[in-house]
């Protein structure tokens, strides 16, 4: 009789433990889902407001406007679109440094880096294609979801290439490392001679469309 009572007690504890753990996991899941939804709703409101203002005030080319309107519709559709997008990309100067000025949109916020594609056309050497990926956000605990990014770069001459060893070491560093990011090489676009394009990619392997980098290096600061 005692053994049977004890067995029932252990069975009760076992079932109760499973119920308790399931309840905790369920509450945790619902909390995280609610938190993510609130974050998504908050970012969506900001993104929609900013994009709509830009469409009214900014002078986009027809190509740029079409891309911006597509991103706006994605933020409005009520679902999380996993593919990242670039609204525009400019090569310009900021406080004396050469930078990529990007407007990034990624609804699930898991961007890892950017890719550069260059098409060099030389009458003597023919066509040379350069494609390099730079994991600039690999250590970000909260990568950009909708933001303007100013990324320092160096202008490429013909021979400079991504230092794969340095970037491999960079990706293995901890979150709180103090080492500077390795160099990102970008050529200055030259009409009919050198095309430079960019894309962004995320942890799942999704990539944005390839878009041209617009050269603003020689604009007066007053016109930017």
pLDDT in tens, 5-25: 555 556 656 565 665 565 555
Overall domain count for the chain: 2
Q: What is the pLDDT of residue 56?
A: 82
- For the chain, list residues with pLDDT below 70: 1-43, 175, 220-224
Residues 93 and 48 in one domain: no
Between the CA of residue 50 and those of 54, 55, 70, 86, 105, what are the distances in Å?
Answer: 6, 9, 14, 15, 12
Residues 154 and 97 in one domain: yes
Q: Does residue 179 sit within a domain?
A: yes
Q: Of 78, 70, 87, which is closest to residue 44 (Cα–Cα)?
A: 78
For helices 2-57 and 62-76, give the axis angle rounded to 10 degrees.
Answer: 150
Cα separation, 8 vs 18, whole angstroms = 15
Residues 38 and 102 in one domain: no
What is the extent of the structural domain holding 94?
81-223
Residues 145 and 205 in one domain: yes
Cα separation, 163 vs 176, whole angstroms = 22
Yes or no: say if 90 and 189 are a contact pair by the CB < 8 Å rule.
no
Q: Does residue 75 sit within a domain?
A: no
User: Model's pTM, two decimal places?
Assistant: 0.75
3-state secondary structure of 177: coil
């Amino acid at each position: 009789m005692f053994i049977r009572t004890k067995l029932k007690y252990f069975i009760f504890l076992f079932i109760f433990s499973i119920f308790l753990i399931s309840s905790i996991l369920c509450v945790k899941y619902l909390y995280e889902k609610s938190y993510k939804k609130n974050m998504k709703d908050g970012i969506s409101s900001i993104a929609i407001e900013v994009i709509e203002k830009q469409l009214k005030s900014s002078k986009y080319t027809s190509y740029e406007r079409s891309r911006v309107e597509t991103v706006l519709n994605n933020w409005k559709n009520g679902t999380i679109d996993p593919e990242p997008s670039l609204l525009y990309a400019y090569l310009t100067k900021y406080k004396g440094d050469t930078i990529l000025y990007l407007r990034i949109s990624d609804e699930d916020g898991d961007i890892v880096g950017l890719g550069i594609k260059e098409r060099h056309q030389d009458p003597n050497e023919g066509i040379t294609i350069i494609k390099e990926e730079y994991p600039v956000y690999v250590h970000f605990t909260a990568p950009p979801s909708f933001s303007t990014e100013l990324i320092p770069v160096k202008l490429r001459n013909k021979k400079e290439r991504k230092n794969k060893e340095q970037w491999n070491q960079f990706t293995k560093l901890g979150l709180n490392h103090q080492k500077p990011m390795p160099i990102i090489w970008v050529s200055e676009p030259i009409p009919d001679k050198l095309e430079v394009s960019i894309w962004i990619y995320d942890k799942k392997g999704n990539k944005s469309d390839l878009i041209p980098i617009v050269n603003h290096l020689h604009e007066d600061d007053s016109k930017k």
